[in-house]
Amino acid sequence: MERTCQDLENCYSTYVVDRLRIKDRSAAGIVRALEHEIDHGRLRSGDLLPTVRRMADQLGVSPVTVAAAYRTLSARGLVTGAGRRGTRVTARSQALLALPDPPMPEGVRNLAQGNPDPDLLPSIKAALGKVPSKAGLYGRQSCLPDLADLATRSFAADGVDAKAIAVVGGALDGIERVLAIHTRPGDRVAVEDPGFPNLLDLVTMAGLVPVPVTVDDRGPQPESLQRALAQQVAACIVTPRAQNPTGASIDAVRANELRTVLSGHPDVLLIEDDYIGAVAGVGYASLATSGTKHWCVARSMSKVLGPDLRVAILTGDLYTVRQLTIRQRIGTGWVSHILQSLVAALLQDPRSAQLLDRATRTYNSRRRDLLSTLASNGVTAHGVSGLNVWIPVAHEALVIRRLLDGGFAVVSGERFRLHTPPAVRITTANLQPGEAERIADLLATDTRALRTLPA
């Protein structure tokens, strides 16, 4: 039987290598070939790669070369090593194919997508009357003065010195542009672990190497950030409040601790992703100081006014914002002035302010309701702010299946994690009365699936 298994492994290894047709047998060439297979769906999530030695034997190269290629793929989140169980393609790699979400089964509540509650978003109907009746022409300012003024005052209220303002097509659009200004492929970037999958994918697609920083309820842990910065990272990306997926929020004490750590690395680009804005339910604590050479804050309107507007406000040091504006002008030109006018009108409408206050209170109530109900059933969970609750588990697939059978779709933590233990994420933005109790009952009935793995 052992020989049969070994023969099968040899055949599989030969098949994979033959299919790759690797001409460049350097580590970089092996990486490109494997990425190509993953990008085209021929290597899928869970597929086993040949062992380092077998791949090296088949290619006629040193095992050191193959090991270096596997390390690069692992750093980019495309494969993961599991000791004697080998190296396998990760779920993250398939997410990079941008496949559409499968249809939701009938009768299942979608608590997976992370959307705000549509009933708590302002209607654009009245604001449309304040939008110019004719489209603008070339030569206008990229950022409309009314919106720039609103943004400046909003940042100032949170202690952010907004000397320059840019408008981008969402927070990730702004972050991608800023990374392109300050980093090059192969650079290391400190990211939260767990963190927002799209951001982790963005870093990977840019050819950057994510360096994980562990997160607790108060945000990035200073010791972990210090270790990441010691690895010569070029940039650091943090979520000051309502961190996705854990709901972590940086308080004043933690902010001072993180500023102290960052002060020893003034050349590291600091990016603050305020994707949720005012509906986070907590205040804002910026990490940028006068000693921070390059920094930016990207503040999205998606959770406040609606994801379909695709507008975010960005501020930062003068060099970064100026370079972003120049590059934007060369490419897309600007974010539609029609959209900017609509956002400004919505932000100035007193009814929007009232709805925003209601949304903040409602989101807080729904999230806390689930947390307290889970706690009363002996289930540990995290979510001090924002729209999500993060629940550590031992077996993600078992928990997801149990909840789906009970009528709730949630997200596997695998897409969010680099090195942190398994968990699931539940979006509470649209949680209805009685659902917290049903979810807690479903989770509490299977302690084997919930029991967290030993450290």
Residue 133 is part of which domain span?
124-348
Q: Check residue 280 and give left, alpha or beta (phi > 0: left; psi -120 to 50: alpha).
A: alpha
Nearest Cα to Cα of residue 363 among 392, 385, 343, 338 = 385
189 domain-assigned? yes
Q: What is the mean pLDDT of residues 359-363?
A: 97
CA angle 387, 309, 245 (to 5 degrees): 25
The better pLDDT of the pair 23, 356 is held by 356
CA 112 to CA 173: how far, in whole Å?
A: 23
- Could you tell me if 145 and 267 lie in one domain? yes
357 domain-assigned? yes
The predicted pLDDT at position 141 comes to 84
The predicted pLDDT at position 453 comes to 40
Least confident window among 81-85, 295-299, 332-336, 402-406: 81-85
Does pLDDT of 292 surpass 60?
yes
Does pLDDT of 78 surpass 90?
no
Coil/strand/helix, residue 150:
helix
CA 126 to CA 34: how far, in whole Å?
A: 52
CATH number reported for the structural domain that contains residue 372 in this entry: 3.90.1150.10
80 domain-assigned? yes
CATH number reported for the structural domain that contains residue 340 in this entry: 3.40.640.10
104 domain-assigned? no
- Could you tell me if 198 and 239 lie in one domain? yes
The predicted pLDDT at position 1 comes to 45
The fraction of the chain above a pLDDT of 70, given in percent, is 90
Least confident window among 34-48, 148-162, 351-365, 441-455: 441-455
103 domain-assigned? no
- Could you tell me if 293 and 204 lie in one domain? yes
Grade residue 185 by pLDDT with cuts at 50, 70 and 90.
confident
User: Mean pLDDT: which of 16-25, 200-209, 293-302 is highest?
Assistant: 293-302
- Residue 248 CB: number of other CB atoms within 10 A? 28
Q: What is the mean pLDDT of residues 335-339?
A: 93
The predicted pLDDT at position 320 comes to 97
Does pLDDT of 206 surpass 80?
yes
pLDDT averaged over the chain? Answer: 88
246 domain-assigned? yes
pTM for the full predicted model: 0.82
CA 10 to CA 21: how far, in whole Å?
A: 17
**How many structural domains are present in the chain?**
3
102 domain-assigned? no
Q: What is the mean pLDDT of residues 32-47?
A: 81
The predicted pLDDT at position 213 comes to 98
Q: Which residues contact 349 (CB under 8 A, 6 or more apart)?
A: 122, 126, 127
268 domain-assigned? yes
The sign one gets for the Cα dihedral 240, 429, 210, 225 is positive
Q: What is the mean pLDDT of residues 425-453?
A: 83
- Could you tell me if 373 and 401 lie in one domain? yes
- Could you tell me if 328 and 414 lie in one domain? no
